[in-house]
């Protein structure tokens, strides 16, 4: 192969590699939702929730969103249809992580009722 052909090949390869990297690097728009949410905490009162902070400290959206969609009201909807039990997310997702972090001696979130329910 002559030099010109090699150069063209290299250019073509890097363009293809660059395109393949776009989804990985997150250039494709991702809807992160609102930074600050207020969750429905039933008779215990509303739960202010810093979504943005959790997106920064929790590696995978799926840690929470495996149970309900990335859509406003999805959590209540899943409880209404019976797909989720009342307090299931609270215990199995929110508190489970906060407790595990505490046990591990890392920064952790609230565990007492009144610290989450305003």
Q: Which residues bind ligand HEC (CB under 6 A)?
A: 30-34, 37, 39, 41-44, 47, 49-51, 53-55, 57-58, 61, 63-65, 68, 70-76, 79, 86-90, 93-95, 97-98, 101, 107-113, 115-117
Q: With respect to ligand HEC, which residue has the nearer C-beta, 103 or 107?
A: 107
Q: With respect to ligand HEC, which residue has the nearer C-beta, 6 or 83?
A: 83
Vertex 118, ends 115 and 109: CA angle to 5°?
30
Residues annotated within a binding site = 51, 54, 61, 64-65, 94, 97-98, 113, 116-117
What's the closest the beta carbon of residue 29 comes to ligand HEC, in angstroms? 11
- In the chain, DSSP assigns E strands to 36-39, 47-50
What's the closest the beta carbon of residue 22 comes to ligand HEC, in angstroms? 17
CB 86 within 8 A of CB 42: yes
Q: With respect to ligand HEC, which residue has the nearer C-beta, 21 or 57?
A: 57
Question: How far out from the chain centre does Cα 93 lie?
Answer: 12
DSSP state of 12: H
CB 26 within 8 A of CB 20: no
């Amino acid at each position: 192969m002559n030099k010109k052909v090699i150069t063209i090949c290299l250019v073509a390869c890097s363009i293809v590699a660059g395109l393949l990297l776009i989804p990985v690097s997150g250039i494709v728009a991702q809807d992160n939702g609102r930074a600050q949410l207020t969750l429905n905490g039933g008779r215990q009162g509303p739960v202010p929730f810093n979504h943005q902070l959790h997106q920064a400290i929790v590696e995978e959206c799926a840690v929470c969103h495996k149970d309900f969609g990335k859509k406003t009201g999805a959590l209540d909807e899943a409880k209404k249809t019976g797909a989720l039990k009342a307090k299931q997310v609270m215990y199995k997702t929110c508190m489970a992580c906060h407790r595990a972090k505490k046990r591990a001696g890392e920064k952790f979130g609230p565990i007492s009722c009144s610290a989450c329910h305003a």
